[in-house]
Structure 1
Amino acid sequence: MSVVTISKKSRWIALSLVVALAACSKDEQAGTEATTTTPTAAPVTAAPAPAVSAQVQAMSAEQLRAAATKALGENRIYAPGGDNAMEYYLALRDKLPSDPAVTSALTDLMPYTLIATEQSIGREDFVEAQRLSALLEKADPKAPALPRLKQTIANAQLAVAARAETEKTKEVTDAEAKALEEKRLAQQAEQQRAAAAALATQQQQDAARAAEAERTAAAQREAAAAAQREAAARTAAATPATTKPAASSTSLKVVSSPSPRYPPEALRAGTAGEVLVEITVGTDGSVTNARVVRATPPRVFDREALNAVRRWKFEPIDAPTTTRRTLAFNPG
């Protein structure tokens, strides 16, 4: 299709280009993807490239005419750079400045280039926006939209730079806050470890003291039981043997019944409960055997209950007797 044909069918070109605008935008994005993946962080200070590439300017008029026709057919109105209808027609106008068809074609293509420029600004692709703006300026240096476009590009670049600075400041602030929080958490963890170690040491010391007290009490009970057995043996040797009925559990008379120690953990937690123990009382009135029959809650008060009943003393009886007692634990 010749340039003259394009001029005569400018209305057809405008309609077809409106339909193809979305596809052109996609072609433009694909052609410039390598430079628009990430928004520009600061204003571009490099000198802008020529509106028409040197390769296009070096083409002959016939080559430019054919290339322009092909670019229009493939919807390459203003992109990619160096291979689009706008550049081909601008180069052709330089070679044929009096050709009205070329001027008409450029007039038809400028609105779409303007729209593409504004879209590039909107997605902060300032390199592409400046390239398209240069095409518009070369096509018509006095175009009314040019001052606004240039100012919009400059303002957008400043806004992006300011946003990048704000984001950088925020990143620094967030990093400092994160470091402070990590330091606080580390200090808190260290305090908790120290407290846990101190608690474990205290519990070990309490357990050691309780075990020592239990050993001492057991030795005392054993010594007392041995003395009583020895006394009973002497009495039995001196007194004729007589048969007496075994004492019942109801005939047991308590001489001493120390209360059980309340477990510190249960006391702190406010836990209450009871333990049913079965004890065997020897003839000397001491508890010779003890076991837990039932405990509520389980394994919380068992040890202290057994420790307590083993220290109980009853009046001497004629024969060993087994009975049951319930020990209640109430923090109040």
Structure 2
Amino acid sequence: MAVVVVLALLAAGAWLLIIKPHRDMVAQDASGRPSAPAASSSTAAKAAVAAPPANVAAMDVNQLLSEARRAMNEQRYLAPASNNAFEFYLGALQKQPGNSVAVDALRETFPFAANSAESAINARDFNEAQRQIDLLAKADPANYTLTILRSKLDAQRKLLDKEQQQALDQQHQQQLAAQRSAEEKAAAERLAEQQRSSAAAAQQAEAQRTEQARLAQQRQQQQAQQAAAAVVASNTQGASSNTDAILIRMVQPRYPTQARRANQEGWVDVQYTVDAEGNVSNAHVVASQPRHIFEREATDAVERWKFKPATRDGTPVASTRQQRIQFQLNAQ
């Protein structure tokens, strides 16, 4: 019951203090009081944009009240600047302090004007919202609505700053991602180029080894031909003459794999015996450079050589020979 009584008292007070005086102002056209706003928000916005600035300072009180009433009818409560109801009413109060029409109109219009300021805040027209809040403060500096509007304006400004910062951060992240992608692509291209270069170098090296092997085989054939020619020449000599052992089949020594990989060259002096049948025996190393690298391959090759044995008075005899075996990469 107490709540009902309070609500009834508030309703009666609102009727006596707000609604009834406002209706009285509408009825008193001659007094210059403004009528209640009736135009739509879109109409008010168009009027606010189209209304040119007015010379408030040059108007008298009646002119200011008349212009204020017109602005009220067009819902130009706070905008545009220099041509709105609040500035006209405030101008009237400056020229005639305590003017009841201006005082009552400012008090009754304050909620509508506050809505206009809130719309400017929501539209993020912060400069215009600040101007309208300042204009409201001139009319009623102690009104609690100003605190709410200022808080909303501050919150919207902070929200806009946050959104702008987030947009900048997102743009920065996108730039970093694009930069990383470009760097990864460049690194992949460099790696592919290195792999292609390595493959080309390996192919070239293999081609060189193949060519070297072909040349070595060709030299062996030439040496065998020379040995065969020497045998033929020796057969034409008298059977009773003394001759040295003649090489008729030469086997090239195998180049050690480890030495080839290390690009190492050298030589081996091998002493051996050619028996009366032209076979090699007792092959052993006399000297070598470097030691223990080419010795085994050299002796293995010499032991497979075939000779026409040396003769004494036309009779084949054993003989001892010494040969230097060269190991050169360009000759293999």
Q: Give the shorter-chain TM-score range.
A: 0.3 to 0.5
Q: Which has the bigger relative contact order, CA under 8 A and spacing at least 6? A: 1
Structure 1-normalised TM-score? Answer: 0.44
Instruction: Give the structure-2-normalised TM-score.
Output: 0.44
